[in-house]
Amino acid sequence: MPRSALPIDPAQARAIWLRAQKLDRAEPFGAGPDAARAAIAHLGYVQIDTINVIERCHHHILFSRIPQYRRDDLAHLQSGDKSVFEYWTHALSYVPTADWPYFIPAMKVHRENPSAWFGSVTKAEVSAMTRRLKGQGPLSIRDIDDDELVEKDHPWASRKPSKRVLQWMFYQGLVVIAARDGMVKTYDLTQRHFGWDKNPRPATERQVTAYLLDRALRSQGIISVDSVCHLNNGAKKAVRELIEARVKSRKLVPVTFEGIDKTALWATPEALEAGGEVEARVHILSPFDPLIIQRKRLKLFFGYDHVFEAYVPAAKRQYGYFALPVLIGDRIVAAIDLKTDRLSGKVLVQKWTWLADPGAEARAAVDDELSRFENFQLGR
């Protein structure tokens, strides 16, 4: 690969990433279910999380890019037009249904090499659950009331053995999550849910590698091997080889900017030509937002070291239990630890930390955005 890289300004690097994340414009996807569908397609996936201190992160991530976002929009995509499904990326996420073929190889691995977590599930149990779903229709674990309860062997386990059976079938692609109500998931047989006469053909290994790289280029603008393969070390060798091939064919350009040490970065010529400054828009971001979740990359581009402190002892927390980074333009200027008090109808500020003084006008803009954010939290 070329030894030299094209020097770019750090502000240009941030602008390219923010533009790729669609955080640089007011309504980049429009409104309604079509906007949510377009956002998930562009980002590649939207992470799901169980923490409910404020609105769950999948809704929060979409709200950050769709000002008029409504939770029912996502429910419609999952259960109505079925254009998204849930599966594991680096975490459980909403993924475009069109991308299903790229996940079939991972489903095959789960089937052929089940983890110790699913090792106790038998083929007979899977067959019995399949028959049950065929006969009774979609089911949540709450609908299954004839289980013989067992002792939990993990904090996240269920006393109902059926839950583990459904989860293993989910990872194999035999069932999908047809609907979600908070953390309660309703499962259905995959072919019935999507109305498929036969399952899609699996993507080849080369196609999966290209999918990972193209997804990252679209949503990150400037990529590294680590950013393409976040928590997916097994894909790094193939991704690195594909990057090398695209550099040779001039489809990718090595880049660098001040503060980069050993991290190799690349971008498309089109991304580098876009240029332009980022408007001073305010975003109160989820700690699981695609801009925030890769902590090393975030620090590299923005000089901000975010620590998710929910698992840090209270006495050692710097920003708070569930601190949310506040982005203004291309700067992260604050971290606000928020908690939604749904009984009193308020969003409580547990702690507010300014990382830099943005000025009186910007402070007022943050207050305005916080009010809008509160209305979203409380469904106003």
What's the rounded Cα separation, in Å, for the pair 56 and 183? 10
Q: ∠ CA 149-154-159 to the nearest 5 degrees?
A: 15
Name residue 8's amino acid: I
331, β-bridge pairs:
328
For the entire predicted model, the pTM comes to 0.94
What is the β-pairing status of strands 84-88 and 92-96?
Answer: antiparallel
Q: Which of 290, 295, 298, 99 lies closest to 212 in space, CA to CA?
A: 99
Chain segment 181-204, per-residue pLDDT in tens: 988 999 999 999 999 999 999 999
Block residue for tokens 């009186």: 360
174 contacts 165 by C-beta, under 8 angstroms: no
Mean pLDDT of the chain: 94
Chain segment 81-139, per-residue pLDDT in tens: 999 999 999 999 999 999 999 999 999 999 998 887 777 889 999 999 999 999 999 99
Query: What does the DSSP assignment read for 191-237?
Result: HHHHT-SSPPPPPPHHHHHHHHHHHHHHHHSEE-HHHHTTT-GGGHH
Chain segment 225-274, per-residue pLDDT in tens: 999 999 999 999 999 999 999 999 999 999 999 988 789 999 999 999 98
Please name the residues in contact with 373: beta carbons below 8 A apart, sequence gap of 6 or more.
284, 347
